[in-house]
Homo-oligomer: A and B are copies of this chain.
């Protein structure tokens, strides 16, 4: 997510490789979320608390690794809302180092969405489930929509704050830790990513979301992204 602050070598903007990184990273992320959800559900004997702890650990570890190894190439967005925030941020100033044009942003988002589906399918194949399936896990209601807005506002705030000069810690650690907390403190287990919504639609498991529930989640996430951007602007005026 977002961009490596300490990148000493200017990345070459080889678009093909950036798209490969966004596709592969988002696929790996979704495969982790869904695969660990399936494994956790199978092993935890009906104790969903145990299952969500396992799901949390796997997601935190994977996010940390994926951001570390792919951020130097593409910025490791893996999330259409992050790409949009970076795009609009780029238009107003230059604090984020990988420049993204409207054309690139659209391609990033397309490859994230394709990657999310590929990741879900890979999990399905590995666990010998039907490749094409749809979740029957209905999620929604005012509480969960609020939760998605909160989760996404927090995610965007964490990503943008971690790009400031004051924070020495890595974006990778902050984003992974944030999601580790948000899985538990939000009523929706914090999807916070339209690509994650799309991918998880294709898994009828612990981590899935029914197609009928996707629109509400994505709208709430978009609102959250706007709120997160505004919070960050307010805070940055104070400290930069």
Contacts and interface: CB of A to CB of B under 8 A. Distances in A.
A14 B143 contact: no
Do most interface residues of chain A lie in helix, strand or loop, or is the interface mixed?
helix
Contacts of A174: 64-65, 68-69
A161 interface: yes
Interface string A33-65: 111100110011111111111111111111011
Interface string A95-137: 0000000000000000000000000001101111000000000
Interface residues of A, number: 93
A155 to B, nearest CB: 10
A99 to B, nearest CB: 16
B127 A61 contact: no
B127 A39 contact: no
A49 to B, nearest CB: 3
B167 A143 contact: no
A59 to B, nearest CB: 8
Interface in A137-185: 141-144, 146-147, 150, 154, 157-158, 161-162, 164-170, 172-174, 177-178, 180-181, 183-185
